[in-house]
Amino acid sequence: MTPATLPAAGLVTVLADERKSATVTDWGGRIGWLVGLALFVALVYWLMREGWKWRGTLQSDLPELPSAPEETGPAKLELSGRYHGSTTAGQWLDRIVAHGLGTRSRVQLTLTDAGLEVERPGATDFFVPAGALRGARLDKGIAGKVLTEGGLLVVTWAHGDKEIDSGFRSDHAAEHTEWVETLNHMINDTEGAR
């Protein structure tokens, strides 16, 4: 007899006979997959770290970053915010990692007649002399960070024979316009004096 021709009581008995108990969890298989996944994640992390170190090796021709002189004069502008990294000027995806320039951090910028002082807690501080400043603009992105239009202050400066774009974001984005105007005015005055 088929289940269709059985009376209702018989149908329940046939269906109950067809049920099977749940399979027991294969702990060995699950643990194997978890170990394999953990090893894969560790491999990817290690490859990313090696790539970062290799990029730093390729950029080892970049000279050491200058430090601020003892006397820089009174501050024209100050900014507290975030440092998002540096790239080769005009190439917003070509990140520079040598000498800690690729390390994101909090930042305290101070602009004086002597130049731009970049203080970064937990990362290397550096100083950009006024004669090395090349320009400032508002932009929307730099390697690894994309914001709304005009959300990033990008300062272009010369270091050795390379021009560098460094990206900053103030805690108060309204300050960016004043920084661009002041920096570009200062750069034009410096170039006019040469």
Separation of alpha carbons 138 and 132, rounded Å: 19
Q: Is residue 5 part of a domain?
A: no
- For residue 122, the domain's CATH number is 2.30.29.30
As to burial, measured by CB atoms within 10 angstroms (0-12 exposed, 13-18 middle, 19+ buried), residue 76 is middle
Structural domain that includes position 117: 77-193
Check residues 1 and 90 and name the one with the higher pLDDT.
90
Number of structural domains (the chain) is 1
Whether the model clears a pTM of 0.75, i.e. scores above it, the answer is no
Q: Where are the beta strands (DSSP E) in 59-104?
A: 77-88, 95-96
Q: Is residue 44 part of a domain?
A: no
Q: Is residue 193 predicted with pLDDT exceeding 70?
A: no
Express each pLDDT in 1-41 by its tens digit. 555 555 555 555 555 556 666 666 788 888 999 999 999 99
Q: Is residue 114 part of a domain?
A: yes
- Average pLDDT of 151-180? 90
Q: Is residue 133 part of a domain?
A: yes
Express each pLDDT in 114-124 by its tens digit. 899 999 998 88
DSSP 147: -
